[in-house]
Amino acid sequence: MAATLKDVAKLVDMHPATVSRALNPRTSHLVSPETVARVRKAAESLDYVPNPMASGLRTSRSHTIGVVIPDLTNPLFAGMVRGMQDTLARAGYTPLVVNTDNDVETERKVVSSLKARRTDGLILATARREHPLLEEISSTLPIVLVNRVTESVALPSVTTDEQHGVRLAVDHLVGLGHSQIVHLAGPSWSSTGHDRAQAFQRAMKSHGLTATRRSITVPAWSVDSAREVAQKVLASNAATAIVAANDQLALGAFAAVRQLNKRCPRDVSIVGYNDIPLMALVDPPLTTVRVPVVDIGSEAARLLLSLLREETPTATKHVKLTPELVIRGSTAPLRA
């Protein structure tokens, strides 16, 4: 059906090898300019497009990148994937996206299915902190980590400055007069949950706010469990402000506030994290730390592509992007 190299060769009365050289940008300089032109025209006229399976078989490069995320349905990861898709496509690579649903067993399965597909590299944006099979994969395949780093193996990564982001939130609240600030922390198996909780402690300490029970962990990244936890906190606690570990948890806090017949931001100020879509449209509009999700994706792709290009493995690169605070209606000065 589709035209092959041989068809083009026949048309210009040349050997397939010559046609291949002429069409391949990396080898076309080995061929006289006029034949290149002739071949190009012929290829065009036949709509010739190289068969990636054939060239992949020969070169053992699939021009394919495995992308492992918890869940595409989460706007955070959808944004990242979008960034990856765009920059990978420009370089002639295709991402193969798989979801783990934060399950270690599925994670093992999808990674091995990606290896079976002979992906040229891997971008791991999974959330778990510990990760058994990282080492063994990394020896066989270029890997870029997203939103987390590893202690054990030195792997290139793209992260955001959680420390900075959380501090922005805390500084903002302190600036508004709050001192009774509580952190709604993400699950402890999650690397961002862990990191943000730690960053929160540090930011509080830097303001001389060191009382205990400042941080309470939500068992899942869901609105509902955040609501339950926040309700307990707000009922028993004199907290006037909450820093939530992500926007969903912040929305859970909203719900808790409403259930207790309190009001946000009048009675309690709430800051989210990530700035997923529509957060400007909830009520009240959510003050939150904006994470450049699409940029994270493109940076991760860019980093992986550079890894694929260089054969001599240089020093492990870490890209760290900076989040910013978006102040909206869910935070207000402490009432005297």
Partner DNA sequence: TTGTAAGCGTTATCAA
Partner DNA sequence: TTGATAACGCTTACAA
Our CB check for its own copies shows the closer of 149 and 308 to be 308
* Interface with its own copies in residues 139-158 (CB under 8 A): 140
Cα(8)–Cα(21) distance, rounded to whole angstroms?
A: 12
CB 80 within 8 A of CB 297: yes
* Interface with DNA in residues 9-28 (CB under 7 A): 14-18, 20-24, 27
Q: Which stretch binds its own copies (CB under 8 A): 17-25, 37-45, 76-84, 197-205?
A: 76-84
35 lies in the binding site for DNA (CB under 7 A): yes
326 lies in the binding site for its own copies (CB under 8 A): no
Cα(75)–Cα(246) distance, rounded to whole angstroms?
A: 12
Residue in 38, 115, 129, 318 binding its own copies, rule: CB under 8 A: 115
253 binds, among its own copies, DNA, none (CB under 5 to 8 A by kind): none
Our CB check for its own copies shows the closer of 53 and 238 to be 53
37 lies in the binding site for DNA (CB under 7 A): no
Cα(269)–Cα(257) distance, rounded to whole angstroms?
A: 10
Q: Shortest CA distance to 193 belongs to which of 102, 111, 326, 322?
A: 102
71 binds, among its own copies, DNA, none (CB under 5 to 8 A by kind): its own copies
| Percentage helix, strand, coil for the chain under 3-state DSSP, each rounded to 5 | 45, 15, 40
Residue in 50, 177, 225, 306 binding its own copies, rule: CB under 8 A: 50
Q: Shortest CA distance to 6 belongs to which of 42, 59, 30?
A: 42
5 lies in the binding site for DNA (CB under 7 A): yes
48 binds, among DNA, its own copies, none (CB under 5 to 8 A by kind): DNA
Tokens 């959680």 — which residue? Answer: 162
H or E, element range at 19: helix 16-23
Distance in Å, CB of 325 to its own copies, minimum? 21
Cα(68)–Cα(102) distance, rounded to whole angstroms?
A: 10
Q: Shortest CA distance to 84 belongs to which of 138, 191, 158, 137?
A: 158
Count of chain residues binding its own copies (CB under 8 A): 44
DSSP code at position 286: P
Distance in Å, CB of 149 to its own copies, minimum? 26
- List residues binding DNA (CB under 7 A): 4-6, 14-18, 20-24, 27, 30-32, 35, 48, 50-51, 54-55, 57-60
